[in-house]
Amino acid sequence: MGQEREPDIGSVLEVEISSDGLTARARWKPGTPPEERARWTSADVESFLLKSGIHFGVVEEGLERLLAVRADDGASWVEVARGIPPEPGQPGGIEWLTQDSKAEGAQGEPRDPGSGANRVDLRDRGGIPSVSPGTPLIRLVPPIPGKNGTSVRGVSIPAPTPGAIAVVLGPGAQWNEDHTTVLARVAGHPVYNQRRRRIDVQPMYRVQGDVDYGVGHVSFEGSLHIGGSVQPGFRVKASGDVVIDGAVDGGIVESGGDVKVGAGIYGGTRGSVRAGGSVQAKFIQQGRVSAEFDVVAQRSILHSETSAGRDIEVLSPAGTIAGGTCTAVHRIRAAVLGSPMAVPTTVAVGLPQTVRDRWRNVQEDLRRMDGQRSKLRLAMQVLEKRLQVRQDPETLGMKQKLQRDLAELDERIQESRLELQMIAEDMRQFQDAAVTAHKVYPGVKIIIGNAVYAVIQEMDRVRFTLDGGEIRVSPQG
C-alpha cells in the first residue's frame, strides 16, 4: 500500500477575495506541473477555501473548471465562490390625498402641469382646486427597507438605507398627530412647490373683470383669479398661483406659483410676467416672460425675451418661435424656429454658470453651518453638566437660547440640503439639453452651454444637442 499523504494544496493553489467580498477566485500557482494539479480533488479545494476564510457561496461549476485545468495555462483565474449582493430598498414618497392632485411624478411627487400626459388644455378656464380646514393633503409613504446580502466570508452585507422624502409646510398646512399626513390648516387652494418640496394652502382672491383704473394694482399673499385682463401699466402680484381669464396687455404679473393666461401675453414697452412655477398662455408677443419651471405657449412666441428653468414649448403644429431670445435649462421645442425673412432669433439651452456658482456657495454654507452646530452642541453639553450640579435661572436661560439657536440652524441646514438636491436635479437635466424643430430658418442662433451654432440655410426636422463641447445636428426622432 502507498503511504497516505496529507494534502498541502496551499503550496500550489492561491485564492483571492474581491474588495467588496462578493466573489472569490482561485488559480494554480504559475509553474505548477499538470501532474501535481491532477493529484487534488474537489474536497481538497473546498477544504482549502474554508481555511482561506470562504464560508459561503462556493460555486461547484467553478471547482470543476479549476480541477479540469491540465494544460500549461493553469495560471488563469477561476471564480470559485459567489456571494449575494444586497438589494436596495425603495425610497419614501408622497401620496396625494386630494381629488384634484392625483398626478404623481418620480418618488411620488406631483408632476407639473406642463409635463407629458399631464398637459393642461389651455382652452379650459376651470377654477382652481380648493380645500377646507382639516382636509388631508398628502401622506408620507415610508421607505421600504432593502434586503441584506452575504459575502463569500459568510458576513452579512447591509443594504443601503433608502431615504425618506422631507417636505416643508407653509403656514396654511399642518401635520397630523403622528406626523405622517399633512392637513389643510385653512380653507383655500393647495399649492405644492416641487423645487422646494413645500406644501401650503393659500386662500384665493378673485377680481371680477379687468385690472384697470377701477381696481388699481393688486397684491395678495395667496392665489389670484382675474376674471378679465391686466391692462397696460397695472401690476398684479401674488405669492401663489395667478389665473387670468383674459390677457396680459402690457401689464406686469409676478407670481410665486404658476401663471395661467386664458388669452395671450402682449408685453408692449413695459409688460412682463414672472412666475415661480410655470407660465401658460395662447401666445407671447413682445413680452418679457420668465418661469422657474416651464413656459408653454399654444400658438407662438414672437419678439420676446423668454426664459425657463426647465422647458420652453409651443404646442401648435404650426407653433413658431421667431425674434428675440428664448433661454431654457433643459429643452426648447417648436414646429418653426425663425422666419423666411431671417429674423434674428436666439434659442439657448443649458445650465448657466450662476447655477454652478450657487452649488459651490451652498456647499460652503453647509460646511460652515455644520461647524456652528457642532460648537452649539458642545456648549449645550457644558450647560447640561452645569445644571446637574445647580439649577440656576441664568444657566437655564442660556440653555433655552441655545435650543432656539440649534432649532433655527437645523432648519437652515435642511433648507440648504434641499436646495443642493434641486440644483443636482437641474445639473442632471442639463446632460440631455436639446432644441428640436420641424423647420429652422437662417438667422436662428442655437446656443447650448458655451457652444454656438449659426443657421445659414433652411433645415427640416432637426434636433440640436451638445456632443463633446460642440453642437451636433441630427434628424428629429
For the stretch 59-117, pLDDT in tens is 999 888 888 876 555 568 899 999 999 998 988 888 888 754 433 333 333 333 333 33
Count of beta carbons in the 10 Å neighbourhood of residue 164: 12
pLDDT tier at 125, thresholds 50, 70, 90: very low
Query: What is the pLDDT at residue 314?
Result: 97
Task: Give the end of a domain, one of 413, 442, 461.
Answer: 413
Question: What CA–CA distance (Å, rounded) separates 32 from 11?
Answer: 9
Q: What is the mean pLDDT of residues 434-456?
A: 93
Residues 329 and 457 in one domain: yes
Residues 339 and 316 in one domain: yes
DSSP state letter for 381:
H
- Of 29, 63, 82, the domain-final residue: 82
Do 153 and 55 touch, CB atoms closer than 8 A?
A: yes
Q: Rg of the Cα trace of the chain?
A: 32
Domain co-membership, 99 together with 77: no
Q: Are 321 and 273 part of one and the same domain?
A: yes
Task: Determine the pLDDT at residue 72.
Answer: 55
Other residues' Cβ atoms within 10 Å of the Cβ of residue 268: 15
Query: What is the biggest distance separating any 2 CA atoms in the chain, rounded to whole angstroms?
Result: 119
Q: What is the pLDDT of residues 286-344, one digit of tens each?
A: 999 999 999 999 999 999 999 998 899 999 999 999 999 999 988 999 999 999 999 99
Tell whether 364 is covered by a domain: yes
Q: For residue 377, give its domain range.
A: 353-413
361 and 344 within one domain: no
Amino acid 88 reads P
Shared domain for 261 and 128, answered yes or no, is no
Instruction: Please tell me whether residues 343 and 453 are part of one structural domain.
Output: yes
Q: Looking at the domain assignment, is residue 278 inside a domain?
A: yes
Task: Concatenate the DSSP letters of all residues of 229-259 into one string.
Answer: -B-TT-EEEESS-EEESS-EES-EEEESS-E
Cβ 58 vs Cβ 21: under 8 Å: no
The answer to the question of residue 228 being in a domain is no
Co-location of 135 and 172 in the same domain: yes
Closest by alpha carbon to 164, among 418, 475, 410, 387?
418
- % helix / strand / coil in the chain, to the nearest 5? 20, 35, 40
6-10, 254-258, 417-421, 437-441: least confident range: 6-10
pLDDT digits (tens, 9 = 90+) for 377-427: 898 888 888 888 888 888 888 888 888 999 899 999 999 988 888 877 766
Cβ-based burial of 82 (10 A; exposed 0-12, middle 13-18, buried ≥19): middle
| Res 299: pLDDT | 96
Contact by Cβ (8 Å): 95, 108: yes
Q: What is the predicted pLDDT for the residue at 319?
A: 95
What's the domain count of the chain?
A: 4
pLDDT per residue as tens digits for the range 134-186:
999 999 999 999 999 999 999 999 998 888 888 899 999 999 999 899 999 98
Q: Is residue 62 domain-resident?
A: yes
At residue 122, the pLDDT reads 28
Query: For the segment 18-47, what is each residue's pLDDT rounded down to a tens digit?
Result: 999 999 999 888 877 877 778 888 888 898
Contact residues for 385 (Cβ-Cβ < 8 A; gap 6+)? none
- Same domain as 189, residue 110: yes
Contact (Cβ atoms closer than 8 angstroms) between residue 241 and residue 225: no
Statement to judge: residues 324 and 447 lie in one domain = yes
Tell which wins on pLDDT, 359 or 443.
443
Instruction: Kindly state the cell numbers that stand for 472.
Output: 451636433
For the segment 226-283, what is each residue's pLDDT rounded down to a tens digit? 999 999 999 999 888 999 999 999 999 999 999 999 999 998 878 899 999 999 999 9
> At how many degrees (to 10) do helices 353-389 and 393-430 cross?
160
- Tell me if 52 is assigned to some domain: yes
Query: 3-class SS at 68?
Result: helix
Distance from C-alpha of 174 to C-alpha of 184, rounded to nearest angstrom: 6
Helices and strands counted in the chain (H then E): 5, 34
φ and ψ at residue 358, rounded to 5 degrees: -65, -35
Is 88 a domain residue?
Answer: no
- Residue 355 to residue 334: CA distance in whole angstroms: 26
In a domain, 214, yes or no: no
- Determine the Cα–Cα distance for residues 450 and 413; give it in Å rounded to an integer: 33
Between residues 110 and 284, the one the model is more confident about: 284
> Are 276 and 379 within one domain?
no
Q: Are residues 380 and 406 in the same domain?
A: yes
End position of a domain, from candidates 381, 413, 445: 413
Backbone angles phi, psi at 230, to 5 degrees: -100, 110
Give pLDDT, residue 477: 65
